[in-house]
Amino acid sequence: MRNMTFTDAAREGLAEEMQRDPTIIVLGEGIGPRGGNFNTTLGLHALYGEERLRDTPISEAGFTGLCIGAAMTGLRPVVDIMFSDFAVDALGMLINQAAKLRYLSDGRIGVPLVLRGAIGGGQSSGAHHSGNYYPFYMHIPGFKVVVPSTPYDAKGLLKSAIRDNDPVVFLEHRFLMNTQGPVPEEEYLIPFGQAKVVREGEHVSVVAISLMVHKTLEAAQQLAAEGISVEVVDPRTLAPLDTGAILESVRKTGRLLIVDEDYAPCGAGAEIAAQVADQAFSYLDAPIRRLNMGHATMPFSPTLEKALLPNPQTIAQAIRSLAAA
């Protein structure tokens, strides 16, 4: 094991896959010699040049559409969309072409494409650079949705995403990119649809998504001193969703809180809550609860932004309330 940052681990996974498979190409804004806005491709342009690592104009719809066509004809593109907000400009092609083509071609044509972008607020980047958007893609048949929270998961899940024969949306929270953790030297892949219990507990189950895993672990550490034992489940992929692991945790604790930085209405937490209510209602000792960011457009103001986002203190209070219910 080595200690690596989230970004370094993911970039190593991308480099290994590009070396293994010459059909892998990467397109995006500023990803060439500069290495990308978040260093996602730093150093790779010198290895593979313009043929496989191409800077693009500021035209998300253009280069995403280009990559969908390239995937249809035998290449395996990685679309580095920079901020996930920008993918909205290409949703028509992503939903009506990339996600549906396998079905529309009776399985003859796949779209092995990875759409990669940063998510999340907390840096006063405003409304156009702070979104999450994973519920959009969870809703559409054909997409796989990946939200890693550790360097280990970032590398293993990105390698799996690149090898997948269907479109995968790979979303990385910007506050995770400099976090560090152990990463094996040997090659490994992480299958989709396998959640991870990152902390075992007895009183309350918390399903936390992306950065919220770390904030929930901090809250759980505080609550342990109060005698509240919290189990934290990281789904790692939202589509496919490992409902079985979540149900197993709820059957043990009898209580469920879902912590999600995205909006509550029609969100990932709403789907998780519905699945648990349907399949494990008799195990619940209290109503399922959700903690989300405020349902408002992300402001530039650091003070207002902070007030909108879940934090260890608000998470801890939500857990206390649920444990007492």
Q: Other CB atoms closer than 10 Å to residue 94's CB: what's the count?
A: 28
Per DSSP, 236 falls in state: S
Q: Which residue type does 186 have? A: E
Looking at 45, 129, 173, 203, which residue is catalytic? Answer: 129
Separation CA 98–CA 67 (nearest Å): 10
* Residue pair 174/119 in contact by the 8 Å Cβ criterion: yes
Give the strand order in the sheet containing 256-260.
196-199, 230-234, 204-208, 256-260, 289-292
Closest to 287 (Cα-Cα) out of 260, 322, 237? 322
Give the strand order in the sheet containing 114-119.
53-55, 24-28, 76-83, 114-119, 168-173, 144-146, 237-239
| Catalytic site includes residue 203 | no
| Residues in Cβ contact with 33 at an 8 Å cutoff, skipping those fewer than 6 apart | 45, 46
Catalytic center residues = 129
